[in-house]
Structure 1
Amino acid sequence: MSQETETFEIILGRVEHINASHFNCLSFAKASDMVNGINVRLSNMAGGYPFSFGGVTWHDSETLYLCGEFSDASDKHLSVQKEMQRQTSGFAAKRFVKNKYKRFIRSDFSTFRIQWMLFVVWMKCKDNADFANMLLLLPHNVIIIEDTTKQHSDTKEIWGCTNQALSAKRAEVKKETVRQAKADYPNISKAALKRLVNSETCKVNGIGTFVGQNNLGKILMICRDCLIQGVEPPIDYALLESKDIHIMGKRLTFPTNNTPMSNLHIVA
């Protein structure tokens, strides 16, 4: 990342320190987040963007991604995948299925999880026009960041970034918004108050430094740029092919003549 040239270099797997006061950052933490009036439902957990892959309809990209953790040729992994696919959301698949079978996760999954995520998100982009169009509606020069500050998983700085200063400021705004709303509207409903708080806190940006690999944010930017350019993302298909990935009883095959992931650039 070079602040002098105002260019953000997208390198998957690299830890970033993104100065939010210098770059135009679009951060999201949950499916209800609003940015400039747009509901940025970019989270893997966000429903409403079903897509078909392997002859199966997936409620969200999280569920298919999780199936990659249980993707060898065994009957056990197939049964776990089927149980995941029957869930109504990626959240349910993760909480009620993955956590139950954690001991069966592929020991080599960390060696290909980033490329698998890129592949999964691109499959969603290709098969769900609403999701692809939402990406295209976002300003093309923004740095997309998954804000994982409030998460507790051990991979939160792999997929996203933390920003303690931004979190603290938004907490102040939340407290004041709740106080003012209850004073002005004593009978305000919990749902209305939640929407108001979300709207006001999402307006707070440009504070602190985002720290983490932000691989999901980078993957979304790669997919956005490829949609704009009308090209395929440079997925490392050779790596995925070498991992003998099985989804819903079928071995996936990938083209192996693609070059490995190259560096992409966007102007911030």
Structure 2
Amino acid sequence: MVSASQYRTYNRQECITFRKTSEPFGGLSNMAGGYPLLVNGISILTSEALYQACRFPHLPDVQKLIIAQRSPMTAKMKSKPYRNQSRPDWDKVRVNIMRWCLRVKLIQNWERFGKLLLSTQDKPIVEDSPKDNFWGAIPNDSNQLIGVNVLGRLLMELRELLKQSPDFLKSVEPPAISDLLLLDKPIERLSLKEVSIHKHEINKSQTQEQIGLELVEETKLAQVDDQNEEQVKEDQRQNNVIQPYQEQKSINFNHLPEVYDAFYIILPYLEQQLHTEHTIQDLAEIFKVRPVQIKDWLEQGVKLGKIKKLSKPVRYISTSISKNEEMPLLDLLKSE
């Protein structure tokens, strides 16, 4: 269960909200079209399809089925019959996977998605959801939304990085998660220099041809009664009672700052690099920022007791070395 302390209350008038993809900020949604992706040479039409495919690294045929759908809602629905076969640690890793999906969306749609993110200025970003108070927030009345709003908070994290350290986002490493596979192959690093997906028109036949979907017949997969999009819409119309989102594992958001600061976003990555000793110049080259910026971050890390400063010569190392530690959302969106 999600504890009460993890919820936030948002004033609609003070926020950027999105629900329908046709709205001004609808492009923030994973359901939004027009932000095509290319991962491991595979064309994927939406970040929603990529996220859902990551549930099933051990089921490449299910991944193919999800990726082949033109509609993001259909891609999501195609995954539902197999939810009981999701990777066993899904609840633990899904936030980090969602963060990675958003960064893939940005690096491969740099101008369009970046411009949309920056247009939100410094306002809270909230997914206005009719029933999901984990990824979004549910309207309480005409002016308030209440929820954990994980998707909105991940988008705010990404926005802050884009404003203060854009070069850091110009390459995307896959998250440090075991068995992160797409069609039986480990997911590869992405670089902005290598990205040209936005220059190409992607269509269904291209996607099917690339992943060899014609070799997979749905009837050979588990025999289930898939819901189609019209049924999904009907379910949404009839769902007048909002059910609280149930979590199998609690997540600690208690220290998430209300005002985002790039230091708190960068800190986990600094700590990861500082498993071994580095100088300021080393880190400036790694993070592609000025040495004075790195020095400021390191000094803040030292004050917090997260980083240790060594002398003769001056270098830095993390005070808590744990190579198997997951990359958290501001060191907070991590299952207990």
> Counterpart in 1 of 2:26?
40
Mean CA deviation greater in 211-220 or 114-123:
211-220
Q: Which amino acid aligns with 1:144?
A: I
- Cα distance 1:71–1:17, how it changes in 2: closer, same or farther (>3 A)? same
> Counterpart in 2 of 1:85?
67
Q: Which amino acid aligns with 1:134?
A: L
* Number of aligned residues: 191
TM-score normalised per structure 1? 0.64
Could you tell me which runs of 5 or more consecutive residues in structure 2 were left unpaired when the two chains were aligned.
190-268, 275-326, 332-336
Q: Distance in 2 between matches of 1:258 and 1:24?
A: 37
Displacement of 1:221 in angstroms is: 1.1
Could you tell me which of 196, 208, 212 is aligned with 2:147?
A: 212
**More RCO (CA 8 Å, sep 6+):** 1
| Identical pairs, percent | 27
**Where do residues 16-31 of structure 1 align in structure 2 (5 Å cutoff)?**
16-20=7-11, 24-31=14-21
**Where do residues 85-124 of structure 1 align in structure 2 (5 Å cutoff)?**
85-95=67-77, 97-124=78-105
Q: Distance in 2 between matches of 1:132 and 1:249?
A: 31
CA deviation profile, 1:174-210 (whole Å, cap 9, x unmatched):
xxxxxxxxxxxxxxxxxxxxxxxxxxxxxxxxx22x2
Could you tell me which of 99, 115, 119 is aligned with 1:133?
A: 115
Residues 125 and 153 in structure 2, CA contact (< 8 A), matched pair in contact too: yes
- Cα distance 1:14–1:251, how it changes in 2: closer, same or farther (>3 A)? farther
- Cα distance 1:124–1:242, how it changes in 2: closer, same or farther (>3 A)? closer
Could you tell me which of 164, 170, 175 is aligned with 2:140?
A: 164
Q: Distance in 2 between matches of 1:253 and 1:211?
A: 37
> Counterpart in 1 of 2:214?
none
Partner SS, residue 99 of structure 1: helix
* Aligned-pair Cα RMSD in Å: 2.7
Q: Which amino acid aligns with 1:165?
A: D
Residues 241 and 253 in structure 1, CA contact (< 8 A), matched pair in contact too: no
Residues 146 and 161 in structure 1, CA contact (< 8 A), matched pair in contact too: yes
Q: Distance in 1 between matches of 2:126 and 2:46?
A: 19
- Runs in 1 of length 4+ with deviation above 6 angstroms? 253-256
Displacement of 1:250 in angstroms is: 0.7
Partner SS, residue 27 of structure 2: coil
Residues 1:261 and 2:242 aligned together: no
Displacement of 1:32 in angstroms is: 1.6
- Cα distance 1:98–1:125, how it changes in 2: closer, same or farther (>3 A)? same
Mean CA deviation greater in 243-252 or 210-219:
243-252
Could you tell me which runs of 5 or more consecutive residues in structure 1 were left unpaired when the two chains were aligned.
1-12, 167-206
Partner SS, residue 41 of structure 1: helix
For the pair shown, the structure with the greater C-alpha radius of gyration is 2
Q: Distance in 1 between matches of 2:109 and 2:148?
A: 27
